[in-house]
Structure 1
Amino acid sequence: MEPLKIVVGEPGRGAVDDCNKEALHHLFNPGEATQLIRRRNWQRGVLAGAAVVALMLQVACNSSGNGNATNGGASGSAGKPAESGAGASTDAGQAAEPVTLNGLASKHVFQADWNDMLVFQEREKETGTHIEWENVPDDGWVEKRNLRMATNDLPDFISRSGFSDADLANYAAQGMIIPLNDLIEQYAPNLKAILDANPTIKKAISDVNGNIYALPAINGWMGDNASKLWINKAWLDKLGIPMPTTLDEYYDALVAFRDQNPGGVSKVIPLTDFSSGFDRDMIYFAGSFGLGNKGPSFFGDGVDLGPDGKMRFIKTDERYKALLEFMNKLWTAKLLDPELLTHKSEAWTANSKAGLHGSFVLAAPESNKASDYEALPVLKSEYGDEVLSFVSSGLRKNNTVITSANKHPEETMKWFDYWYSDEGWVRLQYGIEGETYTVDQDGGYWWTEKYDPNIAPIEKSRGLFSPMFGDGIPYNMAADEFSKRPWIAEQMEASAINKIAAAADMLKPYYDPVLSNGTEPFLFTEEEQAVKKQFSDEAMQYISEMETKFITGKEPFSNWDSYVKKVNSLGLDKYMEVYNAALDRYNNL
């Protein structure tokens, strides 16, 4: 049977990246990131709140860990025999003879030349494997990468590739990149253990024929992956209002914020968001109506998993109508930020610093005074099957591919597998113990003064010794990373990491079913993609316009049936046939 030729659909209108968008906002906006990171005042022992939260998000999004190893530093143990299971410190990367590999990589603006990075130099001493890195700045990366592929001028591997699933399918069909399944089985004990323990990850990085063509990066810390609905607990306490548990109680609390201004601020914004538009709030509140049980990417395409185990279209469902009615209720009562449709992130930051926000959806609490905010459980509705719909698996696909020009694929796989281990993660994140970081008497980790990102900008601190800032090479950050390796006490408190972790634990019963359903987008054949594109261009555009009209009251809900009829007429049946065919393939992997 001829392998299926696949392409990947465009993300849905409401889709979000694997890492929460608010984290990426800090990660990949150099100007704002530079403003957020401030010099530490050692005499007072505190950091500016915004800087700390931004730093926490940078670590959570761009760092890796592994849950099955000891809480040790990055001192080398390359002489130890390989152990089975992720997190083992192994000598699997030791080459029988010195090997030189040519790696092509896109370089984040905050990263130094990868050839000069201490972590790679240290690993070369241990393994005899030398990497000649060709760094290409992000700005010109796609053109350079595509030219190399088009002219068949292939390096041994490509990292921080930016390849889409469609790119992988194309280059695999041409024989330019190689399948990694057997290499993982034989030479990657750390990654193999991760995939064996997490079949949904294995499915997500496999093509429709079960082949793996790229190594992923994995962020397992749910503090970052689970978005939360934060509320100003200080305001609630001042008004004598208990923490809301239902949508009605939440609405009443926002009304009290609006009318009584418990913070005594210039203006109260009961509910807001850092981005413009209703999408993020709708993704979150959908969970209260039992919708969005396959996460944000599928929600953006208007689908989730129905009770019959098949994909269902939710944007014509009566529960979706109830969601829009709830959003309309918030808008009509002036509880939603009136500038939500037009404001920029700068406005969010200014209002945050002024203490105007009553509630918002983010992975982390408000940066200017995190102690005032607490996370709510998923609010109950009349339906009783609530889920946390705004959650991701933390998977970053397609980081690294090995090309057909590589004469040492086994040594290449060994070299990359080390970074999935606990020891490898510590080295990528913190560097070399005693030189780039220290561990205090209480087990708290922090960077030495020369590499402290609160003293010097990232490009002159962490970016000097490791490519971790900006997602450099494959890694695995453990779910319990901050339990095993907390930061020094002042940083743990200032960054509210314990509060974020506790909130994620509280939400676990709500997000576990979503993650079990699988949150990574499906792959589609070319024919299926054509159907999806047509539906997106016509129906989803219409749906987007009508959502805004329903929420803002410009379209009465008495016209709901007409809206449903119009959506059905725009090819909904074929669209759902495509999605269910993709689901069947996914289930059979």
Structure 2
Amino acid sequence: MRKHWGRFAVSTMVVAGLLIAGCSSNAGNKNGNEAGNSEGAVVQAEGFPIVEQPIKLKMFTRIAPVNGPFKDMPVFQDYEKMSNVQVEFIEAPTDGFAEKKNLLFASNELPDALFRSGLSPLEAVRYGSAGQLIPLEELIDQYAPNLKALMDEYPEIRPGITSPEGHIYAIPGIVTLNAARTDKKWINKAWLDKLGLPEPETTEDLYNVLVAFRDQDPNGNGKADELPMTARPGLAIVLAMGGSFGLDTQLGYNINLVNDKVEIWMGSEKNKEMLMYLNKLYKEKLLDQEIFSHKEAQFLAKQGTGNTGLFFDQTNNNFLSIQDQYTGVAPFTGPHGDKIQSQGGPVPRDFGAFAITSVNKYPEATMRWIDYFYSDEGSTLLRFGREGEHYELRDGIPYYTEDFLKDITNQAKITPYAGGGAPHIISEKVASFINPPQVQEAQEKLDPYMPEVRYAAPMFDEQTAQQVNVLRNDIDKYYEEQSTKFIVGALSFDKWEEFQSTLKKMKLDELQKIYQEAYDKMEK
């Protein structure tokens, strides 16, 4: 059962603790509202500035192709004035970012912190155990009331970021808004209306609708050029349709949780039935024939043509000019009554978004600095920039101004959230751009079929993580290759038992046991 504790009460308790700490370490403090810092800088327990005298920090970060320099972003310019914390960003492009990040640790030429760092669980454990990243759990308790309140309200966050030895070496981007963690099921309502068809409710309904899209010329041009259904490249279609066959995605993998038992479903009969259904769609050209060859950009472009019947995406940004043509639909009920929204990320969605290194002289101030972005106020600054110049408030919700949106590329220049993976909170109050009314309505159709908790991938110790990597490298590659062949008809389902046998030989049972042990620890 999720605990919905009041954030005010939690924040008050945290601040009260800070006040005590401040009094004990700074007895002569005039206002009793300060705490000591490892280098003697006085850290304010609440409010701004964070420190009375300016301090400087170096942060390594990933810069996406669409971004401008971080130093030119209003969030960091304005926040420096508010906080008295001057941040010099060491920017590394997305291409080659992982290599540059690894080189930092290998050479031990560390920055003070890593921002939008995309640390993997294995990297967090490895560099934390080596002493290059510092444990953050006590800093969170004392200097991060916003983050701590979120961790109390959503209990799945803490086990998702805690190492086996009990330390938190990196904090995630947190997404409390369901709509920012799912791909909606967008169907061409204009085509349904023209053909006199209701929204499909079952997989059989869907099949019949797709046949009509293919054969009955819903775009009215006299040509058989409609694309009935598409999805992101590769096996994204499996995640999109798996819930209709009782297949969930828990612990960051192809896992169902049944009475607290981990079941990896890749060799199951339910998976076979789903792949047979997708094979039928592909064989009859109801499913995009380019689904295993097109690129992400091509998939996004297909959304905006208005000539696609059904696709899956988080928001409506890619078809805004024709948004009235589409509507979101609920998951389709499968042949055995299954109806799950299986695709979706956990609340701690972007693991390893921020970490503090051992060379940092101001860890307390650094934690207070990042904690601001886990509040709606701080996230608004990070995502929307300056009120009046970039956004306006309507009923307390920030919206980009019409002038600012005349050139959408402006957005990526003012905020590090464009490009993904920034350490902050995405809540209902800061998501107007990705959660407009049409998206909200689409999400409402998914909400009843989402699990109460979507568990994040567990953190393993380094030895276990290496074992998981070895097992999954072979298993995942084999599953992807064979599933693709099953869908396109290059491999007969007469080979299913051979497929199951090979998965067993690859030690799928051993992998399942490891995930079971990890889940058991998370639930303690």
TM-score band w.r.t. shorter chain: 0.7 to 0.9
- Whether 1:298 and 2:253 are equivalent positions in the alignment is yes
Query: In 1, Cα distance between the equivalents of 2:150 and 2:395?
Result: 31
What residue number does 2:129 align with?
A: 173
Query: In 1, Cα distance between the equivalents of 2:273 and 2:121?
Result: 36
**Normalising to structure 2: TM-score of the pair?**
0.82
- Of 320, 332, 336, the residue aligned with 1:379 is 332
- Whether 1:285 and 2:241 are equivalent positions in the alignment is yes
Query: CA, structure 1 residues 286+353, in 2 after alignment: closer, same or farther (shift >3 Å)?
Result: closer
What residue number does 1:574 align with?
A: 510
Determine helix, strand or coil for the equivalent of 2:56: strand
- Of 360, 365, 371, the residue aligned with 1:417 is 371
- The amino acid across from 2:176 in the alignment is G
Work out whether residues 311 and 580 of structure 1, in 8 Å CA contact, stay in contact via their aligned partners in 2.
Answer: yes
- The amino acid across from 1:231 in the alignment is I
Query: In 2, Cα distance between the equivalents of 1:308 and 1:257?
Result: 41
Query: In 2, Cα distance between the equivalents of 1:94 and 1:538?
Result: 49
**Normalising to structure 1: TM-score of the pair?**
0.74
Report the alpha carbon displacement of residue 453 of structure 1 after superposing the two structures with TM: 4.8
- Of 306, 310, 322, the residue aligned with 1:355 is 306
- The amino acid across from 1:381 in the alignment is G
Work out whether residues 133 and 357 of structure 2, in 8 Å CA contact, stay in contact via their aligned partners in 1.
Answer: yes
Q: What does 1:360-371 correspond to in 2, within 5 Å?
A: 360-365=311-316, 367=319, 369-371=322-324
- Whether 1:231 and 2:187 are equivalent positions in the alignment is yes
Query: In 1, Cα distance between the equivalents of 2:378 and 2:469?
Result: 42
Q: What does 1:140-219 correspond to in 2, within 5 Å?
A: 141-219=97-175
Work out whether residues 376 and 429 of structure 2, in 8 Å CA contact, stay in contact via their aligned partners in 1.
Answer: no
Moved more, 330-339 or 253-262: 330-339
Query: In 1, Cα distance between the equivalents of 2:447 and 2:96?
Result: 41
What residue number does 1:61 align with?
A: none
Work out whether residues 428 and 466 of structure 1, in 8 Å CA contact, stay in contact via their aligned partners in 2.
Answer: yes
What residue number does 1:276 align with?
A: 233
What residue number does 1:389 align with?
A: 342
What residue number does 1:446 align with?
A: 400
Report the alpha carbon displacement of residue 108 of structure 1 after superposing the two structures with TM: 3.2
The alignment covers a number of residue pairs equal to: 482
Work out whether residues 232 and 296 of structure 2, in 8 Å CA contact, stay in contact via their aligned partners in 1.
Answer: yes
What is the aligned-residue RMSD (CA, Å)? 3.1
- Whether 1:504 and 2:443 are equivalent positions in the alignment is yes
What residue number does 1:549 align with?
A: 485
Work out whether residues 380 and 398 of structure 2, in 8 Å CA contact, stay in contact via their aligned partners in 1.
Answer: no
Q: What does 1:257-336 correspond to in 2, within 5 Å?
A: 257-265=213-221, 266-277=223-234, 279-294=235-250, 297-299=252-254, 303-305=255-257, 307-336=258-287
Determine helix, strand or coil for the equivalent of 2:88: strand
Query: In 2, Cα distance between the equivalents of 1:526 and 1:93?
Result: 39
Work out whether residues 397 and 430 of structure 2, in 8 Å CA contact, stay in contact via their aligned partners in 1.
Answer: no
- How big is each residue's C-alpha offset from its partner over 1:80-125, in whole Å with a ceiling of 9 and x where there is no partner? x99xxxxxx9506521433333333333344444334433333333
- Whether 1:587 and 2:523 are equivalent positions in the alignment is yes
Query: In 2, Cα distance between the equivalents of 1:250 and 1:166?
Result: 41
Moved more, 530-539 or 120-129: 530-539
Query: In 2, Cα distance between the equivalents of 1:114 and 1:243?
Result: 45
- How big is each residue's C-alpha offset from its partner over 1:173-195, in whole Å with a ceiling of 9 and x where there is no partner? 22121111111111111111011
Work out whether residues 419 and 475 of structure 1, in 8 Å CA contact, stay in contact via their aligned partners in 2.
Answer: yes
Structure 2: 5+ residue stretches without partners: 1-5, 9-31, 34-44
- Relative contact order, CA 8 A, sep 6+: which one is greater? 1
Q: What does 1:35-114 correspond to in 2, within 5 Å?
A: 91=47, 94-114=50-70
Q: What does 1:454-469 correspond to in 2, within 5 Å?
A: 454-455=406-407, 458=409, 461-469=410-418
Q: What does 1:483-494 correspond to in 2, within 5 Å?
A: 486=432
What residue number does 1:427 align with?
A: 381
- The amino acid across from 2:244 in the alignment is S
Query: In 1, Cα distance between the equivalents of 2:331 and 2:367?
Result: 42
Report the alpha carbon displacement of residue 225 of structure 1 after superposing the two structures with TM: 1.6
- Whether 1:120 and 2:76 are equivalent positions in the alignment is yes
What residue number does 2:353 align with?
A: 399
Determine helix, strand or coil for the equivalent of 2:156: helix
Moved more, 542-551 or 89-98: 89-98
Work out whether residues 293 and 387 of structure 1, in 8 Å CA contact, stay in contact via their aligned partners in 2.
Answer: no
Query: In 2, Cα distance between the equivalents of 1:351 and 1:407?
Result: 50
- How big is each residue's C-alpha offset from its partner over 1:452-504, in whole Å with a ceiling of 9 and x where there is no partner? 2533x63xx3455443333475211213545xxx57xxxxxxx8821111111
Determine helix, strand or coil for the equivalent of 1:338: coil
Query: CA, structure 1 residues 109+68, in 2 after alignment: closer, same or farther (shift >3 Å)?
Result: farther
Query: In 2, Cα distance between the equivalents of 1:184 and 1:517?
Result: 23
Work out whether residues 272 and 337 of structure 1, in 8 Å CA contact, stay in contact via their aligned partners in 2.
Answer: yes
Report the alpha carbon displacement of residue 156 of structure 1 after superposing the two structures with TM: 2.1
Work out whether residues 267 and 500 of structure 2, in 8 Å CA contact, stay in contact via their aligned partners in 1.
Answer: yes
Query: In 2, Cα distance between the equivalents of 1:94 and 1:572?
Result: 50
Report the alpha carbon displacement of residue 197 of structure 1 after superposing the two structures with TM: 0.5
Determine helix, strand or coil for the equivalent of 1:199: coil
- Of 344, 364, 367, the residue aligned with 2:295 is 344
Query: In 2, Cα distance between the equivalents of 1:126 and 1:345?
Result: 39
- The amino acid across from 1:310 in the alignment is K
- How big is each residue's C-alpha offset from its partner over 1:3-62, in whole Å with a ceiling of 9 and x where there is no partner? xxxxxxxxxxxxxxxxxxxxxxxxxxxxxxxxxxxxxxxxxxxxxxxxxxxxxxxxxxxx
Query: In 1, Cα distance between the equivalents of 2:395 and 2:360?
Result: 45
- How big is each residue's C-alpha offset from its partner over 1:349-385, in whole Å with a ceiling of 9 and x where there is no partner? 5554543211122223561522111222111123224
Report the alpha carbon displacement of residue 207 of structure 1 after superposing the two structures with TM: 1.2
Query: In 1, Cα distance between the equivalents of 2:501 and 2:99?
Result: 44
Query: In 2, Cα distance between the equivalents of 1:540 and 1:134?
Result: 35
Report the alpha carbon displacement of residue 293 of structure 1 after superposing the two structures with TM: 4.5
- The amino acid across from 1:124 in the alignment is E
Query: In 1, Cα distance between the equivalents of 2:370 and 2:396?
Result: 32
- Of 178, 196, 213, the residue aligned with 1:240 is 196
- The amino acid across from 2:204 in the alignment is D
Moved more, 164-173 or 551-560: 551-560
Query: CA, structure 1 residues 112+212, in 2 after alignment: closer, same or farther (shift >3 Å)?
Result: same
What residue number does 2:90 align with?
A: 134
- The amino acid across from 1:339 in the alignment is E
- The amino acid across from 2:269 in the alignment is E
Query: CA, structure 1 residues 189+142, in 2 after alignment: closer, same or farther (shift >3 Å)?
Result: same
Work out whether residues 207 and 281 of structure 2, in 8 Å CA contact, stay in contact via their aligned partners in 1.
Answer: yes
Determine helix, strand or coil for the equivalent of 1:375: strand
- The amino acid across from 1:497 in the alignment is P
Query: CA, structure 1 residues 257+403, in 2 after alignment: closer, same or farther (shift >3 Å)?
Result: same
Query: CA, structure 1 residues 500+308, in 2 after alignment: closer, same or farther (shift >3 Å)?
Result: same
Report the alpha carbon displacement of residue 427 of structure 1 after superposing the two structures with TM: 1.4
Percent identity of equivalent pairs: 32
Structure 1: 5+ residue stretches without partners: 1-66, 70-80, 83-88, 488-494
Determine helix, strand or coil for the equivalent of 1:580: helix
